[in-house]
Chains A and B, each alone.
Chain A
Amino acid sequence: ETGVTQTPRHLVMGMTNKKSLKCEQHLGHNAMYWYKQSAKKPLELMFVYSLEERVENNSVPSRFSPECPNSSHLFLHLHTLQPEDSALYLCASSQDWAGGNQPQHFGDGTRLSIL
Chain B
Amino acid sequence: KQEVTQIPAALSVPEGENLVLNCSFTDSAIYNLQWFRQDPGKGLTSLLLIQSSQREQTSGRLNASLDKSSGRSTLYIAASQPGDSATYLCAVIRDDKIIFGKGTRLHILP
Residues on A lying within 8 angstroms of B by beta carbon are: 2, 4, 6, 40-45, 48, 55-56, 90-92, 97, 99-109, 111
Question: Chain B contact residues (Cβ within 8 angstroms of A): what range?
Answer: 20 to 34
The contact string, 1 if C-beta is below 8 Å from chain A, for chain B 1-21, is 000100000000000000000
Q: How many A-B residue pairs have CB under 8 A?
A: 59
Q: What is the interface of chain B mostly: helix, strand, loop, or mixed?
A: strand
- List the B side residues contacting A90 at CB < 8 Å: 43-44
For B102, list chain A residues within 8 Å (CB): 40-42
Q: Which 6 pairs, one residue from A and one from B, show the smallest C-beta to C-beta distance?
A: A106-B43, A100-B93, A43-B100, A103-B46, A106-B44, A42-B100
Given A40-B102, A42-B102, A108-B41, is A56 in contact with B46 using a C-beta cutoff of 8 Å? no
Once bound together, how far apart are the Cα atoms of A107 and B95, in whole Å?
24
A37 to chain B, nearest CB (A): 9
Partner-A contacts on B (CB < 8 A): 4, 31-32, 34, 41-46, 49, 51, 89, 91, 93, 95-103
Residues of A close to B45: CB separation below 8 A: 106
When chains A and B are docked, how far (Å) is the Cα of A102 from the Cα of B31? 11
